[in-house]
């Protein structure tokens, strides 16, 4: 399971100018409808960048737009205006990047003819491994700043509203509202949270690019609940990021309470390089944000929200302790039959000759999966599974007939469920069996 999207780059000591975006509505209406795919609580949209189709994550937690993966069959032409060096989570190493402006960017009828983006050509980020979907980049602040942005998680639709007052009057009148602080091009909410029976007022980054529901930074005043597990949280530039996973008693959105949400406390080791906004306690992520529908008004620093049908859905986690990722494609031989038909008269009548069924074969490209992380003392670890094991089958279903979402759902399904898994390790087929355990 992808616990959190950690491959966003944390950028330091770079003065982004956010040159004047030239955005247009190529629509007769005063709103634009943009469908999205919700994968691991992340919003993924289809976009066109300099005439090349891309898939982008819509990320309120990103101050800039990023491009880090290119379609292999296409060539993207850009002007590299400025060479930069940036740093990422968990590493002191600098990475070469280029700031490019004057690009053309479209999503449906939305057009930005002076689109500014940070290009990272040598960064090995392959999100198809983590999400099962090829992701090319991140859409950040510039997408949100000019219009009222409505996010409807139930319908998996984004609406851009040119007439804010009209949309708020007609569409958001039954929504509750909250003031937000926009600092360094990122929005922050103040929310009441109960941790281990104590209440705190927390300043949280509103972060649709975070798959987890809640991240908190431990400090002198904030610490995890007494009941927690050490878990794999994601992957940064220097390797796996680990930390504590627990639950919070409740998080309050005005008079709406979200109860028993999962919370992650990343090891402070991985955030030494990050200059946090003053007073920030953590991040509010997709697994909680998706339980509401939203209107985001950056200009007036107000967010409107309304609970949706996802509010009371349980907060699930991987009870196997084994993280799986897409590891590529392989050719799989499929058998099918060709039936010979014979004439039964001299005109047009034919019947199948069952004695002449001809076997035939075709080859199809199918996904492969591998174990990418194991939680210590978890059911998978106790059974003997290891990082790098290539998965052949799970519960007697061939792995290439599955996808990451189906595997994630299985590992979250129910405590006590038996999992049978066959893997290849060092050229040998090994079989393992374990039972899902609910710890939190």
The CATH number assigned to the domain holding 295 equals 2.40.70.10
Give the pLDDT score at 166. 92
Residue 278, C-beta contacts closer than 8 angstroms, at least 6 positions apart: none
CATH number, domain with residue 374: 2.30.42.10
Asked whether residue 353 is assigned to any structural domain, the reply reads no
* Co-location of 88 and 189 in the same domain: no
Total residues found in the chain within this entry: 440
In 132-199, which residue ranges form alpha helices assigned H by DSSP? 164-170
* Co-location of 182 and 168 in the same domain: no
At 329, phi and psi to the nearest 5? -130, 155
Asked whether residue 14 is assigned to any structural domain, the reply reads no
Q: Would you place residue 342 in the very low, low, confident or very high pLDDT band (cuts 50, 70, 90)?
A: low
Contact 181, 188 (CB under 8 A): yes
Contact 274, 10 (CB under 8 A): yes
Give the pLDDT score at 10. 42
* Co-location of 58 and 147 in the same domain: yes
Residue 430, C-beta contacts closer than 8 angstroms, at least 6 positions apart: 384, 389, 422, 423, 424
What is the rounded CA–CA span in Å between residue 307 and residue 326? 33
Average pLDDT value over all residues in the chain? 84
Lowest mean pLDDT among 2-11, 214-223, 228-237: 2-11
Asked whether residue 316 is assigned to any structural domain, the reply reads no
More confident residue, 334 or 213: 213
Helix, strand, coil percentages (3-state) for the chain, rounded to 5, are: 10, 50, 45
* Co-location of 158 and 183 in the same domain: no
Lowest mean pLDDT among 107-116, 150-159, 329-338, 403-412: 329-338
Identify the CA nearest to 3 among candidates 42, 38, 31, 53. Answer: 42
What is the rounded CA–CA span in Å between residue 26 and residue 32? 9
What is the rounded CA–CA span in Å between residue 251 and residue 432? 39
More confident residue, 397 or 237: 397
Number of independent structural domains in the chain: 3
Q: Would you place residue 283 in the very low, low, confident or very high pLDDT band (cuts 50, 70, 90)?
A: very high
**Tokens read off for 277:** 């906004």
* Co-location of 112 and 235 in the same domain: no
Q: Over 90: is that where the pLDDT of 337 sits?
A: no
Residue 65, C-beta contacts closer than 8 angstroms, at least 6 positions apart: 115, 116, 117, 118, 137, 138, 139, 140, 142, 143
Asked whether residue 371 is assigned to any structural domain, the reply reads yes
* Co-location of 47 and 114 in the same domain: yes
Identify the CA nearest to 238 among candidates 124, 384, 141, 126. Answer: 124
Asked whether residue 419 is assigned to any structural domain, the reply reads yes
* Co-location of 32 and 87 in the same domain: yes
Tell me what percent of the residues of the chain surpass a pLDDT of 70.
78
Q: Over 60: is that where the pLDDT of 411 sits?
A: yes
**Tokens read off for 171:** 């569409």
Q: Model confidence over 128-145: pLDDT tens digits? A: 556 667 888 899 999 999
Rounded mean pLDDT of 281-295? 96
Asked whether residue 326 is assigned to any structural domain, the reply reads yes
Identify the CA nearest to 232 among candidates 380, 49, 402. Answer: 380
Q: Model confidence over 20-70: pLDDT tens digits? A: 566 777 777 899 999 999 988 999 999 999 999 999 999 999 988 988 877
Q: Which of 114, 149, 172 is the last residue of a domain?
A: 172
For residue 191, list its beta bridge partners: 202
Q: Which of 120, 146, 172 is the last residue of a domain?
A: 172
What is the rounded CA–CA span in Å between residue 208 and residue 56? 12
Q: Over 50: is that where the pLDDT of 16 sits?
A: no
Query: What does each C-alpha distance from 264 to 213, 267, 268, 288, 424 come to in angstroms?
Result: 9, 10, 12, 13, 32
Please state whether 251 falls in left (phi above 0), alpha (psi between -120 and 50) or beta.
beta
Asked whether residue 18 is assigned to any structural domain, the reply reads no
Query: What does each C-alpha distance from 332 to 231, 300, 335, 364, 396 come to in angstroms?
Result: 35, 55, 10, 5, 17
Contact 246, 62 (CB under 8 A): no
Q: Which domain holds residue 399?
A: 322-332+366-435
* Co-location of 61 and 157 in the same domain: yes
* Co-location of 150 and 28 in the same domain: yes
Contact 69, 9 (CB under 8 A): no
Q: Model confidence over 235-282: pLDDT tens digits? A: 654 556 789 999 999 999 999 999 999 999 988 776 665 667 889 999
Q: Which of 272, 307, 342 is the last residue of a domain?
A: 307
Give the pLDDT score at 161. 95
Asked whether residue 427 is assigned to any structural domain, the reply reads yes
* Co-location of 113 and 182 in the same domain: no
Contact 114, 19 (CB under 8 A): yes
Establish how many alpha carbons lie within 13 A of residue 373's alpha carbon, considering only the half-sphere containing its beta carbon: 20
Q: Over 80: is that where the pLDDT of 79 sits?
A: no
Give the pLDDT score at 280. 93
Q: Model confidence over 171-185: pLDDT tens digits? A: 888 899 999 999 999
* Co-location of 272 and 198 in the same domain: yes
Distance between alpha carbon 257 and the CA centroid of its chain, in Å? 24
Q: Over 60: is that where the pLDDT of 200 sits?
A: yes
* Co-location of 36 and 110 in the same domain: yes
């Amino acid at each position: 399971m992808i616990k959190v999207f950690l491959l966003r780059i944390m950028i330091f000591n770079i003065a982004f100018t956010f040159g004047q975006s030239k955005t247009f509505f190529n629509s007769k209406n005063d709103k634009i409808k943009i469908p999205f795919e919700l994968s691991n609580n992340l919003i993924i949209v289809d976009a066109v960048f300099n005439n090349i189709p891309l898939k982008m994550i819509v990320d309120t937690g990103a101050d800039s737009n990023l491009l880090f993966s290119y379609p292999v069959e296409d060539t993207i032409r850009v002007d590299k205006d400025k060479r930069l060096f940036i740093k990422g989570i968990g590493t002191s190493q600098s990475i070469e990047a280029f700031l490019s402006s004057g690009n053309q960017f479209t999503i449906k009828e939305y057009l930005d003819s002076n689109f500014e983006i940070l290009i990272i050509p040598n960064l090995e980020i392959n999100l198809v491994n983590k999400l099962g979907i090829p992701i090319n980049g991140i859409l950040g602040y510039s997408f949100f700043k000019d219009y009222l942005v409505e996010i409807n998680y139930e319908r998996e639709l984004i609406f851009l509203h040119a007439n804010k007052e009209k949309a708020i009057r007609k569409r958001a009148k039954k929504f509750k509202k909250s003031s937000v602080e926009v600092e360094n091009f990122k929005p922050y909410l103040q929310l009441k949270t109960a941790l281990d029976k104590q209440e705190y007022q927390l300043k949280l980054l509103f972060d649709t690019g975070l798959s987890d529901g809640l991240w908190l930074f431990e400090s002198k005043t904030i610490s995890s609940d007494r009941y927690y597990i050490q878990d794999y949280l994601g992957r940064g530039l220097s390797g796996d990021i680990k930390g504590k996973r627990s639950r919070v008693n409740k998080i309050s959105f005005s008079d709406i309470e979200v109860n028993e949400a999962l919370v992650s406390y990343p090891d402070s080791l991985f955030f030494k390089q990050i200059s946090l906004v003053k007073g920030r306690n953590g991040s509010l992520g997709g697994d909680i944000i998706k339980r509401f529908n939203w209107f985001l008004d950056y200009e007036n620093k107000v967010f409107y929200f309304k609970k949706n049908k996802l509010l009371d859905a349980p907060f699930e986690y991987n009870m196997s302790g084994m993280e799986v990722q897409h590891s590529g494609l392989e050719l799989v031989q499929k058998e099918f039959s060709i039936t010979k038909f014979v004439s039964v008269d001299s005109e047009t009548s034919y019947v199948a000759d069952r004695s002449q069924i001809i076997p035939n074969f075709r080859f199809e490209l199918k996904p492969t999966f591998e174990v990418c992380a194991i939680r210590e003392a978890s059911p998978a670890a106790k059974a003997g599974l290891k990082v790098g094991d290539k998965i052949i089958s799970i519960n007697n279903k061939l792995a290439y007939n599955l996808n990451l979402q189906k595997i994630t759902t299985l590992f979250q399904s129910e405590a006590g469920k038996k999992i049978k898994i066959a893997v290849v390790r060092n050229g040998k087929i090994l079989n393992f069996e374990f039972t899902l355990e609910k710890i939190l």
